[in-house]
Structures are given as structure tokens and as C-alpha cells.
Amino acid sequence: MTMDIQTFDTTPFPDQKPGTSGLRKAVSVFQKPHYLENFIQSIFDILEGLQGQTLVVGGDGRYYNRQAIQIILKMAAANGVARIKVGQDGILSTPAVSAIIRKYQALGGIVLSASHNPGGPKGDFGVKYNISNGGPAPEKVTEAIYARSKVIDKYYILNAPDVDLGTLGESKLGEMVVEVIDSVQDYQELMESLFDFDRIHQFLTSGNFRLCIDSLHAVTGPYAHALFEQRLGAPAGSVQNSIPLEDFGGGHPDPNLVYAHDLVEVLYGENAPDFGAASDGDGDRNMILGRKFFVTPSDSLAILAANAKLVPGYQDGLAGVARSMPTSQAVDLVAKRLGIDCYETPTGWKFFGNLLDAGKATLCGEESFGTGSNHIREKDGLWAVLFWLNILAVKQQSVEEIVREHWQAYGRNYYSRHDYEEVDAGKAKALIDNVRSQMPNLPGKQFGKYEVEYSDDFSYTDPVDGSISENQGIRIGFTDGSRIVFRLSGTGTQGATLRIYLESYEPDTAKQNLDPQEALGNLIAIADEIAQIRTFTGREQPTVIT
Ligand code: G6P
Ligand code: ZN
């Protein structure tokens, strides 16, 4: 068969710098002529040995997923890729892509998602390249892609009809094999290898435990349906909002107390079930709820670490744990007691990759509703849900009891994040610059009963490859262990998002029952005093509090 490869002349777009999690832009930006093609060709151009290799492609089903996949398939064929595994109907969750890259030793994969950002024609779209370990490309790769995108002048695409993504099986696109795979199967097999499915099945069918999983009309719908209802025996309807929609039903597919309001209503309502969980657009985040009880992601990580030996996949214990810098120090306390290392990385899952590859960490987590382990190289929403269910099935306690016992044993790290979304980028930068300029004078300074112990701009030296990442967020630590962190989000697409992370430590069990906003009241006021948030942003209050 002769291949009809078309070569297009193109000119660079100046804005194709991948952020915390790949290139994320409004759909309309990706729809500009040549925009997606330029970025995809930039990826292909910097991949050594691409020809003859296997790639994995799939996305969270948001608007433009299908069109983008057709373009990527045809470009891959024109660039000499031998085989592409693509999820049926273009659907693959981010953790599933990671699992499939690893299982089939693919060169890498392309994930189409803007994660928790809204979808639809007016929403966001995103492209992320993952490397052969299944994880997001490290900075040296994303920088190479960006550098390439600034000088690109040609891309290659096969002139061919669209591939039928609805039917499982192999077909040819030029000389490349396109393999449409079941979106769930490989992922489910991996989960069955880690968790005690029989025990969880027994637990879910015992009649003593009810759960509600909310897929927020995003990618985890088919996965959650197959796992919890079909395989683990939860009654039909236990998974809600389970059909992936291109616009996520108009919602914001972010599993937190604000955006997962349907689920929150169920878990805080009359006759509430025992357990609730939600995932984000692409399935890598999770929120865990008990009956009328919210588990802070930082606590969730600590609790999974403390109870890991109850789960078959982790029964031999953990090599170490890792958390991002703004994540609370609850897991540090667990690591200390277990006698294992605890690593503090910048925000962004990619920073865990080396630690996992080197066997230095087994569990990782972030305050931003991400938890995961060495089973793949992405965070994994449904994995976290299964981990919790496995623990619950063994301990036969409620979520709230498990969390409260954990606080009794380790102390409670009160924690909250205040987000100011879509702030004018210049004003947000001015706010950060102002805080940075105060840094040298803060140590020793007294704010009521709080004394500043240290203040720095977080810098990370990767213990595996020695790479250095600077300016990762301003930390202000107090002598009693409390912390305030100021950071600008690297995932937003509109203006800037200011994040303020607040943490205090309470070892006294009698004082562990406060509302975090109340417990952190003094720190919230200090953060405002230092950063002059209202003056700089013009905002009276945060957009989202988690
Ligand atoms: C994504 C990344 C996470 C990160 C989160 C928030 O989910 O995968 O690693 O913690 O975004 O990032 P941001 O830069 O917006 O705070
Ligand atoms: Zn996500």
C-alpha cells in the first residue's frame, strides 16, 4: 500500500509551553488551524527512536477528544509509529494510560484531557505526553517539546479516512496498526492484582455497607461501573453520573466539596450511605467521604500509608512515601513511626516518577486530591477508592472512626487550601513578589502567639537525577510546626490562581474536633496580614476552600 503522507508548512505558536500537567488551553485555542498538529509534531520530533514503536492514546471523552485522536492517529502513522493502542471510543482514564504503557512496554502515550477543568466547546482541552515508565514527561522532555514548538516549520499527516474507534480490534492506517482496546480491562486486571476483591465483594454485598460513587459525567463512569457494580457486587445505581459526556453535563469535574455537590448532598443527607467517593475528569483524582464526614486528601494519604499492610499489594510494607510540599505533614508522622523515608517534592505528579522508579517511595500523594503508588506513574482515583474499601472491609469500622483513631494515634494536622481563581495575572504576581520581598525579615517575627521559624522559596533537588527545580512556592514555617504556603497554580488557563495552603498541628485529642477554618483562623489572618490578599487581588474571599 502506498502511503499518502502530506507535509504541511507551519509557523510556531509562542504559547505551547507545557504547564504542571501538559499543554492545557481553551478548546478554541486547540481548534486554531495547525495548533494541535504543531504540538503533536513537536512531541514526535523530539522522541528518539519513535519509528517502529508502540504508543498509547486516549482521553477523558471531553469535547474535541474524538477529533484530536483522529488527527493524532494520522500524524503518528505519517511519522513512522508502528502501533497505536487507543481506548474504545477514544476513552482511557489517565491512570489506565499509565497502566497500559507499562504493561505493553510502549514508548509512551498521549493523554487528552484538561483533567478537572470544565469541558465542552467553551471549556478546556489538553494534551500530555507520558514516557515509557507510564508517567508524565519530566521537565527536560517538556522543555525539549516546548523548544521544538518554537521553531517548528513542518508537520506530517496521513491522508486517510477516520478510524472507527467504536469497534474493538486491529486495523491498518497506512503501515501503522491501530488497535482499539477495551478501556477498562487492563486497568481492572491491575486493580485485581493489588486489592482483595473477594473480601471487598463480601463487604459490599453484606447488606451492612452502602456506597455512592460519583463519576461527575467524566471518564471514570465505565471503570467505576465495571469495578464496583459488575465485579464487586454493589447494587445498580451505586455509581452515579456514570455516562461520560463531552461537557461533563455542564459541571466542573473536580472532586471537592464545592464541585461534587451531588455527592456531598447524598453523603450529608437523610439516610446517607457509609462511603462516598468522586473522581475528576480524567480519573486520577479522588475525594473520599464517610457518612457526613470529609477526609482531607493529606489525611487520606497518611491513613493509606499507616494501614498499607492490610492490603495485599502492600502487605510487605512501604519502601518510603512522598508528598508534594504544600501537602500536610500528616504522612511524615506515619513515615517516622514506620521508620521509612518521606520525600517532599514540588507540586506536580511528575516529580514522583524518579522516586517510584528508583524504589525510594511506594505511596505518594498531594493535597490536590491525588493519591497513588508504584503500581503506575500517575495518581489514581479509583485505586484510592479501592484502597479505602479494602481497609474498611478489613477493619469493619466507619470512615470517621478510622480517621479519628488515626488522629488519636498521630495527632491531627488541621489543613485547608484557599484558592483565588482567575485573578489578574499581573496582580497575582505582584502579590507573590511582595511576599517574597518580605522573606528575609520574617524569621523571628512574632504574629500573636506565632513566631516565624523559617521562610523560603521551595527548591527541590531530585535525589535520583540531581535536577533542580526552583521557585516552587513560598513557605513560611512557625516554631509550633504550623505552616503557610503561597503558590500560583500551574494548571489554570485563565488569569492566575493564587493558592494559600494552611496547616497546624494538634496533638491534643480533646482539641481535634474543630472546623478546620476555625482551627486555622489565626493562620488565615496572618496570611492576609503578610500577603495583603484583598488589597492585591481585590477579592473579599477565596473562590474555593478545600
Ligand atoms: C494536577 C497535577 C497535580 C497538581 C494539581 C494542582 O492535578 O497532576 O500534581 O497537584 O494539578 O496543580 P496546581 O499547579 O494547579 O496547584
Ligand atoms: Zn486529573
- C-alpha grid cell for residue 324? 508534594
pLDDT digits (tens, 9 = 90+) for 163-199: 999 999 999 999 999 999 999 999 999 999 999 999 9
Instruction: Out of 139, 355, 366, 367, give the residue to mutate to test ligand 1, the one with the largest number of ligand atoms within 8 Å of its CB.
Output: 366
Cα distance between residue 275 and residue 297, in whole Å: 15
State whether 303 and 341 are in the same domain.
yes
State whether 430 and 374 are in the same domain.
no
> Between vectors from CA 91 to CA 87 and to CA 94, what angle results, nearest 5°?
95
- The pLDDT, as a whole number, for residue 408 is 97
Distances (CA, A) of 294 to 189, 257, 264, 417: 29, 8, 9, 14
Q: How many CA atoms lie within 13 A of 83 on its CB side?
A: 13
Nearest ligand 1 atom, CA 136: 8
Last residue of a domain, one of 356, 390, 410: 410
Contacts 24+ apart (CB under 8 A), 314-319: 314/194, 314/362, 314/363, 314/373, 318/361, 318/362, 318/363, 319/359, 319/360, 319/361, 319/362
CATH number, domain with residue 449? 3.30.310.50
Rounded-to-5 percentages of helix, strand, coil across the chain: 35, 25, 40
Of 395, 360, 376, 334, residue with least CA distance to 196: 395
State whether 392 and 435 are in the same domain.
no
Asked whether the beta carbons of 90 and 58 are under 8 A apart, the reply is: yes
Q: Which residue lies with its CA nearest to atom 13 of ligand 1?
A: 489
Nearest ligand 1 atom, CA 368: 10
Contacts of 72 (CB under 8 A, 6+ apart): 40, 57, 110, 112
Burial of 440 (0-12, 13-18, 19+ CB in 10 A): exposed
Q: What residues form DSSP beta bridges with 544?
A: 419
State whether 313 and 451 are in the same domain.
no
The ligand with the least distance to the CA atom of 492 is 1
Q: Which residue lies with its CA nearest to atom 4 of ligand 1?
A: 348
- C-alpha grid cell for residue 286? 479522588
Burial of 518 (0-12, 13-18, 19+ CB in 10 A): exposed
Distance 232 CA to ligand 2 centre (A): 24
**pLDDT at 101 > cutoff 70:** yes
Distances (CA, A) of 509 to 15, 241, 291, 413, 478: 51, 38, 21, 12, 21
Distance 292 CA to ligand 2 centre (A): 25
Choose the catalytic residue: 93, 115, 215, 482: 115
Residue for grid cell 457518612: 291
State whether 447 and 539 are in the same domain.
yes
- C-alpha grid cell for residue 118? 470544565
Distance 118 CA to ligand 2 centre (A): 11
Distance 368 CA to ligand 1 centre (A): 6
CATH number, domain with residue 339? 3.40.120.10
Cα distance between residue 325 and residue 298, in whole Å: 11
Confidence tier at 139 by pLDDT (50, 70, 90): confident
Distance 320 CA to ligand 1 centre (A): 22
State whether 9 and 105 are in the same domain.
yes
The ligand with the least distance to the CA atom of 280 is 2
* Residue 444 zone, left/alpha/beta (φ > 0; ψ -120 to 50; rest): left
Residue by residue, DSSP assigns 102-143 as HHTT-SEEEEE--TTS--STTSEEEEEEE-TTSSBPPHHHHH
Distances (CA, A) of 452 to 447, 449, 473, 498: 8, 10, 17, 22
**pLDDT at 426 > cutoff 60:** yes
Last residue of a domain, one of 356, 378, 410: 410
State whether 263 and 205 are in the same domain.
yes
| Structural domain total, the chain | 3
The ligand with the least distance to the CA atom of 346 is 1
Cα distance between residue 291 and residue 289, in whole Å: 7
Of 33, 84, 389, 352, residue with least CA distance to 213: 389
pLDDT digits (tens, 9 = 90+) for 16-68: 998 878 999 999 999 999 999 999 999 999 999 999 999 999 999 999 999 99
Distance 202 CA to ligand 1 centre (A): 36
State whether 161 and 263 are in the same domain.
no
- The pLDDT, as a whole number, for residue 494 is 75
Cα distance between residue 60 and residue 195, in whole Å: 25
Asked whether the beta carbons of 67 and 30 are under 8 A apart, the reply is: no
State the DSSP code for 226.
Answer: I
State whether 257 and 403 are in the same domain.
yes
Ligand 1: lining residues by beta carbon, under 6 Å: 20-21, 115, 324, 347-349, 366, 368, 370, 489-491, 499
Average pLDDT on 215-240 reads 97
- The per-residue pLDDT of the chain, averaged, comes to 95
**pLDDT at 297 > cutoff 80:** yes
- The pLDDT, as a whole number, for residue 258 is 87
Average pLDDT on 267-275 reads 96
Nearest ligand 1 atom, CA 492: 15
Confidence tier at 444 by pLDDT (50, 70, 90): very high
- Could you tell me what percent of the chain has a pLDDT over 90? 92
Instruction: Indicate the residue type of 537.
Output: T
Give residue 503's Cα distance to chain centre.
21
Q: Dihedral angle at the C-alpha atoms of 311, 97, 280, 231, nearest 10 degrees?
A: -50
Q: Which residue lies with its CA nearest to atom 3 of ligand 1?
A: 348
Asked whether the beta carbons of 178 and 92 are under 8 A apart, the reply is: no
Residue 466 structural domain: 412-545
Cα distance between residue 431 and residue 260, in whole Å: 30
Of 388, 200, 418, 195, residue with least CA distance to 277: 388
**pLDDT at 1 > cutoff 60:** no
State whether 119 and 44 are in the same domain.
yes
- C-alpha grid cell for residue 391? 481497609
State whether 287 and 377 are in the same domain.
yes
Distances (CA, A) of 133 to 239, 283, 374, 385, 410: 31, 19, 10, 23, 34
Average pLDDT on 342-354 reads 93
Of residues 481 and 309, which shows the higher confidence score?
Answer: 309
Q: Which residue lies with its CA nearest to atom 2 of ligand 1?
A: 348
Query: Taken in order 294, 419, 117, 301, is the CA torsion positive or negative?
Result: negative
Confidence tier at 491 by pLDDT (50, 70, 90): confident
The ligand with the least distance to the CA atom of 117 is 2
Contacts of 242 (CB under 8 A, 6+ apart): 215, 217, 221, 222, 224, 225
Cα distance between residue 45 and residue 43, in whole Å: 5
Q: What residues form DSSP beta bridges with 8?
A: 155
Concerning whether 489 is annotated as a catalytic residue, the answer is no
State whether 393 and 419 are in the same domain.
no
Last residue of a domain, one of 383, 410, 437: 410
Confidence tier at 482 by pLDDT (50, 70, 90): very high
Residue for grid cell 481563581: 421
